A and B are shown apart, each in its own frame.
Chain A
Amino acid sequence: GDSVTQMEGPVTLSEEAFLTINCTYTATGYPSLFWYVQYPGEGLQLLLKATKADDKGSNKGFEATYRKETTSFHLEKGSVQVSDSAVYFCALKQLVGSQGNLIFGKGTKLSVKP
C-alpha cells in the first residue's frame, strides 16, 4: 500500500541554520504531497502542498519540490527561527479512491536554539 517515510528526529539546529527534512513516498499513480506542521499543544496545520511532478510548494520561507523520479518531497528552509520549532509531517493523498484520507509519515521534531 501507499506509504510515506521521513527522516527520524529529533533535529536540533541553531537559529539561522539551513533546514532539510527528507521525505520519500511509495504510491501508485500520481499522488498529491503535503507538509503539515504541528506546533506544541496544537493540531496540525497545512504548511505547503504540491499536486504534480516538478511543482514547488512554498509558504513561510519553507519550500518543497515534488520529484517524481526520486519519489521525494524534501522540506527546506534557508534560515530557521526559534518559532519554527515544531513537529513536521509529510503526507500524501491519492486523487482517486482514497476517501480524502492522508497517509502520514511518522513526523520529525525540529528544535531551534537561539
Chain B
Amino acid sequence: NAGVTQTPKFRVLKTGQSMTLLCAQDMNHEYMYWYRQDPGMGLRLIHYSVGEGTTAKGEVPDGYNVSRLKKQNFLLGLESAAPSQTSVYFCASSYVAGGPPGELFFGEGSRLTVL
C-alpha cells in the first residue's frame, strides 16, 4: 500500500547543479502537486498537474520545472540550484478537484540542501 512515494529523500547540491525529484503515486489520482515547506511559511504550491501531459504554475514556480509524462509520475526539476531552494519538498495527489472536496495524499518529503 505505497500511496505517494518520493525519491530521493535527502540530497545535497552545490549552487548551479541540477537535479530531479520524482513523485510516484499508485492510487490512479488525476491531480498531483509539488509543495515546498519552509520554517514559518507553511506549505507553498510550486507547480501542479490536473492530468497526464498537463502542468501549471502555482504560487512559487520560479526556478523549477515539472513534467507529467505518465499519470502516476510527477517530476520536479531544478535546472540551476540556488541556496534559496534549500527546503523540504512534498508531493501530493488527489482524485478529483471539482465536486465533493477531495483529500490530498502526501509523500514523506524530500529534504534538499543547496550549498
Contacts and interface: CB of A to CB of B under 8 A. Distances in A.
B94 interface: yes
Interface of B: 4, 31, 33, 40-43, 45, 48, 50, 56, 58, 90, 92, 94, 96-104, 106-109
A36 B92 CA distance: 13
Contact of A49 (B40, B45, B97, B101): B101
B106 A45 contact: yes
Contact of A95 (B4, B90, B98, B108): B98
A44 B100 contact: no
B22 to A, nearest CB: 15
Contacts, number: 60
Given A101-B33, A106-B40, A106-B42, A95 B101 contact: yes
B109 to A, nearest CB: 6
A100 B97 contact: yes
B41 A106 contact: yes
Q: Which of under 10, 10 to 19, 20 to 34, or 35 or more describes the interface residues of A?
A: 20 to 34
17 contacts: A32-B101, A36-B104, A43-B92, A43-B109, A44-B92, A44-B106, A45-B106, A46-B103, A51-B100, A51-B101, A99-B31, A99-B97, A101-B45, A101-B48, A101-B58, A104-B43, A105-B42
A49 B103 contact: yes
A36 B107 CA distance: 13
